[in-house]
Amino acid sequence: MLSIVIPCLNEAEGIAGALEALQPLRRRGAEVILVDGGSSDESLARGRPWVDQVLTAARGRATQMNAGANHARGEILLFLHADCRLPDNADGLIIDGLRRSRKSWGRFDVRIAGGHPLLRAVETLMNVRSRLTGIATGDQGIFVTRSLFEAAGHFAEIALMEDIELSRRLKRYGAPLCLRHRITASARRWEAHGVLRTVLLMWGLRLAYRLGADPDKLALRYAAHKG
């Protein structure tokens, strides 16, 4: 069984559409869990009819995703951002891919929605970098067996870079399955703040984290950028 865990915070505008797209997977047996981090809009009310479980947790993607994983019934966990859309037959791609490859975790290639020509370069670099380093980002839809997720110690409950840290931990047990099928990620952060500016910011944050910077301070830099 596949459990899809979706952290949510003030996603009322698009949450119903995102969850509606997952209904074919639910009909095939997947479980969908929505974990809200204290939304002040109608995210919960609009999302509740489309999921198997609705949970609340302290704000923070890592904390929310850990809460969802703790309540999930599936043997495979898929962590999906609320503004990302899975490729067709994602459940089969994950289950068959892990079985055939004998791997225990992986991610999809990503496509960033939007028409800006720089986005094509950004998504290509993201996918190539991920293959070379074995590091996955949340936008790529990280999936992992429950046993490996528990062995790796779950998500580190840090303010930023929880996906990078989890990938580092999972890599100790083996390389990821890198599916070429594409998950579609929203371009809203790129379009709102400028593609090049956002690229430079994210590269800088990842480099700083690799060099040992405090995730809380990095989160403040990221919030200032969004503001």
Q: What is the pLDDT of residues 50-102, one digit of tens each?
A: 999 999 999 999 999 999 999 999 999 999 999 999 999 999 999 999 999 99
- Report the alpha-carbon distance of residue 184 to residue 149 in Å, rounded: 24
Decide: 11 and 82 in contact? Cβ < 8 Å.
yes
What is the average per-residue pLDDT within 5-29? 96
CB 77 within 8 A of CB 5: yes
Amino acid 225: pLDDT: 66
CA nearest 113: which of 78, 135, 85? 85
Q: What is the pLDDT of residue 166?
A: 97
Q: Within a 13 Å sphere around the CA of 97, how many CA atoms are in the beta-carbon half?
A: 21
**Six-digit token pair at 63?**
């904390």
Decide yes or no: CATH 3.90.550.10 for domain 2-226.
yes
Handedness of CA 138, 62, 227, 48 (dihedral sign): positive
**Any idea what DSSP says for residue 83?**
T
CB 186 within 8 A of CB 113: yes
pLDDT for the residue numbered 192: 76
Q: Which of 69, 41, 42 is nearest to 55 (CA)?
A: 69
pLDDT band at 40 (very low <50, low <70, confident <90, very high): very high
* Signed CA dihedral, 43, 164, 141, 148: sign only: negative
Q: Which amino acid is at 125?
A: L
What would the pLDDT profile of 103-146 be if each residue is shown by its tens digit? 999 999 999 998 888 899 999 999 999 999 999 999 999 999 99
Sketch the domain layout of the chain as residue ranges: 2-226
Read off the pLDDT band of 227 (50, 70, 90): low
Looking at residue 119, its pLDDT comes to 92
**189-225, pLDDT tens digit by residue?**
777 778 888 888 888 888 888 888 888 888 888 777 6
